[in-house]
């Protein structure tokens, strides 16, 4: 059990996530792409201007898009396809009425969704993003990482679901898997920081990524720890944006408090200053808490849709509370968690190849998948779901070992049939999928 002091400190860190991001955003806005000069050694200030132009302390699209996610998460959680649809619809409305600026990819994807008036907004957005990726090969911008922080607050008590949801929210506009990877990494870092009150070891959350990209990310993280933030400009690419933000946290400038010094370093990275500082600010706020933000900033910070610092505090707290209630209601039995982790460790994707009951997978993510669930009578059901229609039971048994083996075999078979597993765990001479049937 937490005592009251611990609870208050944790709430402070929860509130620090949204407020830290918003303050970083507003601090970086004046200097975005060199809008205002920032001399070497000069301390950045919330003077407004930038690409808006913005009022002093006003946040930009980074925080605006994050607020849309947070408002959905606070009211309905982030566990259903309806919630993902509500986020995308919220962004479409924002683009029509509230956006002060918007990234290129995001504008294209949301524009396509608006034109289509699709019933399923998340699916339509993810499809538009996939199409954009097919035409240009370029959907790894920093625009999904910049807004991802509220997702972490929604799953403080459910790390497995956090991994899934961070990627789904990213994929709405950014098809490239690297954008999803960055959101997964940063959300887990934020979660750890809120729980522990310390700067997390970023390398320690690499296990949340697909096995074949962990080494690459470990190299990128190590590089960010070796060099100062300006080494990672331009930072419109999601990888260099994450590197610049992480480098700023590891290489603060000036002798102010750590959060202020690191946000200064993030702005001094140059280029997309508001986004790098918003990304860094979410994690710094999670580590040090909202109470570590200067009073002057808290008095100035504000933005669409007419919110100020206290509104973000309230929103962050409500997202975390809703997330905690959902996690309690959707607890997945330990044995199902174990087998899901086992499959992910083998390079198979939850939400792509398989489904564990208690972690809903939005329709449209995958045309077919295999699932496993615990039944009320203590037995287990392995099931298959095709393009449409209700899931069909493949195995029903009271014996966990039998259910587990049946589930693993079916997932391997599906992945092999799709041909997207071979590169990771099969070999051309001994393809694993020949083993079955
Ligand atoms: Mg911005």
> Are residues 338 and 325 part of one domain?
no
Band of residue 2 on the pLDDT scale cut at 50, 70, 90 = low
CATH number at residue 282: 1.10.4080.10
Higher-pLDDT residue of 177 and 431 is 177
Q: Which domain holds residue 353?
A: 334-435
Residue 394 has phi, psi (to 5 degrees) of -100, -40
Give the Å distance between the CA of 100 and the centre of ligand 1.
9
Give the Å distance between the CA of 28 and the centre of ligand 1.
8
Band of residue 333 on the pLDDT scale cut at 50, 70, 90 = confident
Residue 16: per-residue pLDDT? 98
Give the Å distance between the CA of 299 and the centre of ligand 1.
20
Band of residue 433 on the pLDDT scale cut at 50, 70, 90 = very low
Number of domains making up the chain: 2
CA distances from 137 to 22, 76, 140, 174, 176 (A): 31, 34, 9, 11, 8
Give the Å distance between the CA of 106 and the centre of ligand 1.
12
Band of residue 225 on the pLDDT scale cut at 50, 70, 90 = very high
Give the Å distance between the CA of 170 and the centre of ligand 1.
16
* Residue pair 189/202 in contact by the 8 Å Cβ criterion: yes
> Are residues 364 and 324 part of one domain?
no
> Are residues 338 and 321 part of one domain?
no
Q: Kindly state the average pLDDT of the residues 64-92.
A: 95
> Are residues 279 and 348 part of one domain?
no
Give the Å distance between the CA of 96 and the centre of ligand 1.
17
Give the Å distance between the CA of 151 and the centre of ligand 1.
19
> Are residues 297 and 252 part of one domain?
yes
Q: Kindly state the average pLDDT of the residues 378-407.
A: 85
Write out the H or E segment, with its range, that includes residue 385: strand 380-385
Give the Å distance between the CA of 255 and the centre of ligand 1.
27
Give the Å distance between the CA of 79 and the centre of ligand 1.
27
pLDDT > 90? residue 33:
no
Looking at 272, 302, 329, which one is the last position of a domain? 329
pLDDT > 60? residue 437:
no
Write out the H or E segment, with its range, that includes residue 384: strand 380-385
> Are residues 352 and 262 part of one domain?
no
Residue 385: per-residue pLDDT? 78
Give the Å distance between the CA of 61 and the centre of ligand 1.
5
pLDDT > 90? residue 401:
yes
Give the Å distance between the CA of 62 and the centre of ligand 1.
5
Q: Can you list the positions of beta strands (E) in 58-179?
A: none
> Are residues 345 and 288 part of one domain?
no
d(CA 329, CA 249) in angstroms, rounded, equals 36
Token pair 């309230």 is found at 314
Q: What does DSSP assign to residue 42?
A: P
> Are residues 46 and 124 part of one domain?
yes
Q: Kindly state the average pLDDT of the residues 308-336.
A: 93
Q: Kindly state the average pLDDT of the residues 398-425.
A: 80
Give the Å distance between the CA of 101 and the centre of ligand 1.
7
Higher-pLDDT residue of 158 and 81 is 158
Mean pLDDT of the chain: 89
d(CA 11, CA 376) in angstroms, rounded, equals 36
Cα 83 to chain center, whole Å?
A: 15
Under 8 Å CB-to-CB from 260, ≥6 apart: which residues? 254, 294
Give the Å distance between the CA of 102 and the centre of ligand 1.
7
> Are residues 381 and 232 part of one domain?
no
CATH number at residue 401: 3.30.160
CA distances from 241 to 72, 74, 98, 185, 335 (A): 26, 27, 25, 13, 38
> Are residues 369 and 235 part of one domain?
no
Listed range (9-13, 61-65, 121-125, 237-241) with the worst mean pLDDT: 121-125
Higher-pLDDT residue of 133 and 361 is 133
Give the Å distance between the CA of 94 and the centre of ligand 1.
14
Looking at 278, 300, 329, which one is the last position of a domain? 329
Identify the top-confidence range among 121-130, 224-233, 344-353: 224-233
Looking at 329, 344, 378, which one is the last position of a domain? 329
> Are residues 218 and 358 part of one domain?
no
Band of residue 392 on the pLDDT scale cut at 50, 70, 90 = confident
Tokens in use for 419?
A: 């041909």
Instruction: Annotate 40-65 with b (16+ C-beta within 10 A) or e (fewer).
Output: eeeebbbbbbbebebeebbbbbbbbb
> Are residues 403 and 319 part of one domain?
no
pLDDT > 90? residue 318:
yes
Give the Å distance between the CA of 239 and the centre of ligand 1.
17
Secondary structure of residue 358 in the 3-state scheme = coil
Which pLDDT tens digit goes with each residue over 259-296?
A: 999 999 999 999 999 999 999 999 999 999 999 999 99
Selection from 241, 269, 264 nearest residue 252 by Cα = 264
């Amino acid at each position: 059990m937490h005592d009251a002091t611990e609870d208050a400190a944790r709430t402070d860190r929860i509130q620090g996530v949204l407020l830290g991001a918003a303050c970083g955003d507003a601090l970086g806005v004046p200097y975005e792409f060199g809008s205002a000069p920032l001399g070497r050694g000069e301390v950045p200030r919330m003077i407004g201007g930038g690409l808006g132009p913005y009022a002093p302390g006003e946040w930009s699209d980074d925080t605006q898009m994050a607020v849309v996610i947070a408002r959905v998460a606070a009211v309905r959680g982030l566990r259903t396809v309806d919630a993902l649809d509500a986020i995308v619809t919220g962004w479409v409305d924002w683009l029509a009425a509230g956006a002060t600026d918007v990234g290129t990819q995001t504008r294209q994807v949301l524009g396509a969704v608006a034109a289509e008036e699709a019933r399923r907004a998340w699916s339509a957005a993810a499809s538009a993003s996939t199409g954009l990726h097919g035409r240009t090969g370029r959907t790894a911008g920093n625009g999904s990482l910049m807004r991802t922080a509220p997702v972490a607050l929604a799953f403080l008590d459910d790390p497995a679901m956090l991994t899934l949801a961070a990627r789904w929210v990213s994929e709405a506009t950014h098809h490239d898997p690297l954008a999803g990877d960055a959101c997964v990494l940063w959300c887990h870092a934020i979660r750890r920081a809120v729980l522990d009150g310390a700067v997390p070891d970023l390398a320690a959350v690499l296990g949340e990524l697909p096995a074949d990209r962990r080494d690459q990310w470990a190299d990128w993280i190590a590089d960010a720890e070796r060099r100062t933030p300006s080494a990672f400009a331009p930072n419109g690419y999601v990888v260099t944006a994450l590197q610049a933000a992480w480098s700023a946290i590891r290489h603060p400038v000036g002798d102010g408090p750590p959060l202020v010094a690191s946000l200064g370093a993030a702005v001094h990275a140059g280029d997309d200053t508001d986004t790098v500082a918003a990304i860094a600010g979410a994690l710094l706020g999670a580590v040090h808490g909202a109470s570590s933000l200067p009073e002057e900033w808290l008095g100035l910070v504000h933005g669409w849709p007419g919110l100020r610092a206290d509104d973000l505090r309230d929103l962050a707290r409500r997202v975390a509370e809703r997330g905690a209630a959902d996690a309690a209601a959707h607890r997945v039995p330990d044995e199902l968690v174990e087998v899901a982790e086992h499959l992910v460790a083998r390079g198979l994707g939850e939400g792509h190849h398989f489904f564990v009951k208690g972690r809903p997978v939005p329709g449209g993510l995958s045309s077919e998948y295999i699932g496993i669930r615990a039944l009320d009578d203590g037995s287990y059901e392995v099931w298959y779901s095709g393009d449409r229609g209700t899931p069909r039971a493949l195995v029903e048994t009271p014996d966990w070992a039998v259910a587990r083996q049946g589930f693993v075999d079916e997932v391997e078979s599906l992945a092999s049939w799709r041909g997207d597993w071979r590169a990771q765990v099969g070999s051309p001479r001994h393809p694993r999928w020949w083993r079955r049937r």
